[in-house]
Each structure stands twice: as structure tokens, then as C-alpha cells.
Amino acid sequence: MRAPPAYQALRERLRDEIGAGVYSGGARLPTESELVARLGLSRQTVRRAFQELVAEGVVYRVPGRGTYANDAGRYLRQLGSIEDLMSLSDDTTMEVLTGLRRRVDVDAASRLRLDDDVVYAVTFRRLHDAVPFVVTRVFLPEHVARPVLGAAETSDGAVSTTTIIGLIEPHLAQPIAEAAQSITVGAADVDVATGVGCAAGHPMLRVDRLYADASGTPVELAVSHFLPEQYTYRVTLRRSR
């Protein structure tokens, strides 16, 4: 029987070692360079093995720090639709850090395509099994925010299992139809660091989502900073027919 490709053999070896507890507690795995030198494999082979383990959620990468074993307390989310985003309330808790209120924000207003610089903003964190993993700032146009101003779920210190898009959608003239998303790396500012319990400046996964209704009008801008040690993000892509 033909031997499996080298990257598959390495992938299985690393997976078995993780399963056996060699890298327990979210320990860092050897670097690509270390594995190349130790096992005599090509860098491409090692990189392919890591890529597959990341895709499977077995390990995760922190930019500038390395590749880590995924422990049981880490939050894994697979997203593929607006419904998936709205169902975050199924297994996470939202804690409001700064309640919904009026503010001037030139950048957010521009991205929401508003005529002036006034938006309504709320900042919250999400927890999974009582562990915080993300701080999100949501910006809304005034006409979208007004029906939920004063709602218990958007007040300072509120704790609930809702989502902001789930809260606002019943009040919209048209349903939310799409979310334009960008993913980058950012640093935790003081508020984000306090919210998830890391040091200021810590590398974070930044996810920006601009939600639009069926007419294409933006109704919400959400800027989230995820703690890489506590979060895995997975997207399934399918070939169009």
C-alpha cells in the first residue's frame, strides 16, 4: 500500500501528540523551522500540515507568537450565513460594557453612509462558559437605534443571550440580507484589554462587519476584537454551481 503524503503523515503525528496531551493546556507547538530541522521535511510539507490542522480546529495561530494546541475551553465558531451570526446567542452571553448612546464618530458614520457624523454606539463583550473572548463595538444609524434605546439588553451592565442584529431586525422596514466582512490583526486598546483580560497592545483578531438590509442600506457596523487564545474562527467555502 502506498505511503501517505508526508504532510498527511505529519498532520496525523501532530494530531496524535495533541490528543495524547503532549501539548496540553494550549501549549505552543514547534515552529515550522524547528520541525523542518528535526524531521528533515520541506517547509512546504510542514506548512501544509499546519494549514490542515488549523482548518480542522485542532490548532490555532497567533501572529508573531506561534501555533498552539486548541484546548477544550476555547470557543470555536463556524459561520456561513446571516443566521449563523444571529445564533451567537445560542451558546454565548453578552455583557454590555457601555450602553447604547449617541456619539459623534466620523469613521463609523462614513461607513454607514450617513449624511452627518452622528451614530449610536454600544460596547459589549461575549463570554463562552463564563470566559470572555471578544469585545465588540456596534454603531447604528439613529433611525435604527431609536426603537431599542432604553431596552434592557442595551443598557450599561446588562447581561443577556441576545445579539444586536437580532434585537434591531424586528424594527427594520426590510430584513438584514448581507454582511460585508473584513478580517485583520489589531492591537487591544485599554478597553478591549480590560474586557477580555489581556494586556494592552496584545495581538487580536479584528473582524469588521457591515450589515445591510434587502435594499442594500447599511443598518449596523460591528467592530470586534477577538482574543486569539480563546477563539477559533472557521468559514466553509463551497464552489458555486
Question: What pLDDT score was predicted for residue 74?
Answer: 59
More confident residue, 176 or 100: 100
Residue that is last in its domain, among 46, 69, 92: 69
Asked if residue 133 lies in contact with residue 126, where contact means CB atoms within 8 angstroms, the answer is yes
For the chain, the domain total comes to 2
Range of the domain at 116: 75-235
* Model confidence pLDDT, tens digit, residues 123-161: 999 998 888 999 999 999 999 999 999 899 999 999 998
Average pLDDT value for residue range 198-223 = 94
Same domain for 151 and 194: yes
Average pLDDT, the chain: 86
Strand pairing partners for 203?
Answer: 187
Please provide the DSSP assignment of 86-107 as one string. Answer: HGGGGT-EEEEEEEEEEEE-HH
Q: What are phi and psi of 5, to 5 degrees?
A: -55, 155
Top mean-pLDDT range of 21-30, 75-84, 126-135: 126-135
Identify whether residues 161 and 192 lie together within a single domain: yes
Give the C-alpha distances (Å, rounded to integers) separating 169 from 139, 147, 166, 213: 14, 10, 6, 9
Is residue 240 situated within a structural domain? no
By three-state DSSP, how is residue 46 classified?
Answer: helix
% of the chain residues with pLDDT over 70: 85
* Residues 61 and 81 both lie in one domain: no
Question: Among 26, 53, 69, which residue terminates a domain?
Answer: 69
pLDDT attached to residue 92: 84
Task: Output 198 or 59, whichever has higher pLDDT.
Answer: 198
Same domain, 12 and 59: yes
The string of pLDDT tens digits covering residues 41-62 is 998 899 888 888 887 778 877 7
Q: Kind and range of the H or E element at 184?
A: strand 176-187
Tell me what pLDDT residue 142 has. Answer: 96
190 shares a domain with 170: yes
What CATH number did the domain enclosing 34 receive? Answer: 1.10.10.10
Q: What angle do CA 28, 31, 37 make, to 5 degrees?
A: 135
- 118-128: strand order across its sheet: 159-160, 93-104, 118-128, 131-140, 218-226, 203-213, 176-187
Check residue 117 and give its pLDDT.
96
* Closest C-alpha to 14, from 1, 45, 3: 45
Residue 171: predicted pLDDT: 93
Mean pLDDT, range 197-213, rounded to an integer: 94
Query: Residues 55, 166: one domain?
Result: no
Give domain status of residue 1, yes or no: no
The verdict on residue 90 lying in a domain is yes
Verify that 58 and 160 share a domain, yes or no: no
76 pLDDT more than 60 = no
**Would you say residue 128 lies in a domain?**
yes
